[in-house]
Amino acid sequence: MKLMFLGTASGLPTHDRFSQTVVLEIDKTLHLIDVGDAASSLLAQSKLNHQSIRSIVVSHMHADHHAGLAQVLKTSMHLKKDSDLKIVLPSEGINAVVGFLEACYLPLEWLKYPVEMIPIGDEEIVIRDNLTMNAYPNTHLLGLKGRSFRRLDEMNWQFQSYSFVINAQGRRIVYSGNLRGKLAEIDELIDQNTILITEMAHLRIDEMLDVISQRKPKHVYITHFYPYLDMDDVKQKITDSSFGEAITLTWDGMVVEL
């Protein structure tokens, strides 16, 4: 099993970090966790086969987490993908995504591979044998609740963002998604068997290190970097901590064998 960080930027991509796209490769099948705008190109650049994609998870509807979805589906169609695809996303995104795909001349019926849209809910999500996940609502989008815009009443908007516990071939992977200031918001999901993938854009390294020191995850991969982050300060604080070897700052194209 491999974990691949194809894009490691926050919502502000740069010349050397593209928007967030994380890939889990299990038995030659690919599972995408968030699909930033460059996802299809990054898959091609890493010589990963679109036909092998079996699931795509969108943690919340901010564009940096799903803007690459339509192109991934289009490239997959051109490459004559015929295996089925599960797309797991916030329920409020389903009609909007289907409508956008139709506006892109990509109605689901034309794709020639079966697509199942799975709304995120309370139940365990079963992707395949040995790959299941549970979603945990977080407060990343809380600041948007109560704001109003023209179409809000029609759309039944929940402004819901999720963190995930992924069970992949016996490994416990916690994917923070985007949070709202504190890793402690999901600290109860983290234990000593956890491989933690956490965002950095909305968190402070000191608070993150506090949580890591208490929960002692097996390894931590930090991603979703904001370009104005003081990386030297982050690296120094990680080095100065007693568990720095358990923390990796990811980069675009990084591949980890799990």
For binding to Zn ion (CB under 5 A), which residues are involved?
11, 62, 64, 178
Closer to Zn ion at the Cβ: 90 or 217? Answer: 90
Closer to Zn ion at the Cβ: 36 or 217? Answer: 36
Closer to Zn ion at the Cβ: 59 or 71? Answer: 59
- Least distance CB 11 / Zn ion (angstroms): 5
Closer to Zn ion at the Cβ: 105 or 228? Answer: 228
- Least distance CB 47 / Zn ion (angstroms): 26
- Least distance CB 140 / Zn ion (angstroms): 6
- Least distance CB 199 / Zn ion (angstroms): 7
- Least distance CB 192 / Zn ion (angstroms): 28
- Least distance CB 65 / Zn ion (angstroms): 6
Closer to Zn ion at the Cβ: 59 or 76? Answer: 59
For residue 175, list its beta bridge partners.
164, 197
Give the dihedral of Cα atoms 64, 31, 246, 18; nearest 10 deg: -30
Closer to Zn ion at the Cβ: 76 or 161? Answer: 161
